[in-house]
Structure 1
Amino acid sequence: MALTRDFKETVKARAERDPAFRAALLTEAIEQLIAGEVDVGKAVLRDYINATIGFAKLAKATGTPPKSLMRMLGPKGNPRASNLLAMIGKLQLMSGLRLAVAVGRKKRAA
C-alpha cells in the first residue's frame, strides 16, 4: 500500500520539529533490518531519508546516484550489504547519532 502525500508530509513536519522522532525513525529502521524484516526496514529508512536530509544530500555523501539509492530502498530493491552499511554510516554522521547493537533475550511465553 502506497503512503499518501498527507502522511508523508506529516512525517516530514514532525521530523523537522522533533529530534527524538528523527532518532526513533532511524533506530526503528535499523532494528527492523537486524530483525530480518528487510522490507519494513527499507521502507522506514526511506521515510527517514525523505523526512530529513533527502536523497540528493545522501547521494553526495555516499558517492552513489540518488536514483540508485532510491531503488535500493524500494520494494523490489536488494542493496548489497556494503551499500546499505555505507548508507547507514553516512546517515549516522549526518544526523549526529551513533547507533549501537545491544544483546538482549526474548521474553519467553508463559
Structure 2
Amino acid sequence: MKTQKTHAASVSHEEWVLDALRSDPEFAVEYLKQAMSEMNEPDGRGAALLALRQIAESCGGIAKVAEAAGVQRESLYRALSPKGNPTLNTLLAVLKSVGMRLSVEPEDKAHA
C-alpha cells in the first residue's frame, strides 16, 4: 500500500497574509494603498475594509487596535466589516493606532 505524504507546513491564505503584514510594514502600507485605490470598483469598498481589518489583526488584534483608537471592539468589527461604513474619525484613529496615516494623491496627472 502506498502512503501519501502531507505538508505539515501548509498555512491558510489568511494566515499567510497576516504573517506577511506582521513581518513587513512596507508591504502592509502597499497592501492597504492598493486596496484603497480600488474602492470605486465593484466590491472594492469591502476589500479595502477587509485589508484594514487584516492590518489591525496583524497589529495585535482588533481588541488592541480598538482600545488604542478609542472605539469599542464591537463597533470596530462592524466598521471594518464588508458592509461597514466607518466614520472619518474612526478611520483616522485606526490608521494611527496601526502606525499609518491618511494621505491624498491626484487621481492622474491631468488633475495635478
- TM-score of the aligned structures, taking structure 2 as reference length: 0.67
Q: Which residue of 2 aligns with 1:54?
A: 61
- Structure 2 matches for 1:31-50, cutoff 5 A? 31-33=37-39, 35=40, 37-50=44-57
Taking the aligned partners of 1:97 and 1:45, their CA distance within structure 2 comes to 11
Aligned mates of 1:59, 1:14 — CA distance in 2 = 21
State how far apart, in whole Å, the 2-side matches of 1:41 and 1:26 are: 7
Match of 2:26 in 1: 20
Question: How far apart, in 1, do the equivalents of 2:52 and 2:37 lie?
Answer: 11
Deviation, 1:101, is 0.9
Inter-partner Cα distance in structure 2 for 1:98 and 1:90 = 9
Closer/same/farther in 2, CA of residues 98 and 46 from structure 1, 3 Å limit: closer
Structure 2 match to 1:103: 106
SS in 2 for 1:78: coil
- The unaligned stretches of length 5 or more in structure 2 are 1-10
Maintained 8 Å contact 1:30/1:41: yes
Question: 1:106: how far off?
Answer: 7.9
Q: Which has the higher helix share?
A: 1
User: Highest Rg: 1 or 2?
Assistant: 2
Structure 1: which 5+ residue stretches go unaligned?
none
Q: CA deviation at 1:102?
A: 0.8
Alignment RMSD, CA only?
A: 2.6
Percentage identity across paired residues of the two chains = 27
Query: How many residues were matched structurally?
Result: 98
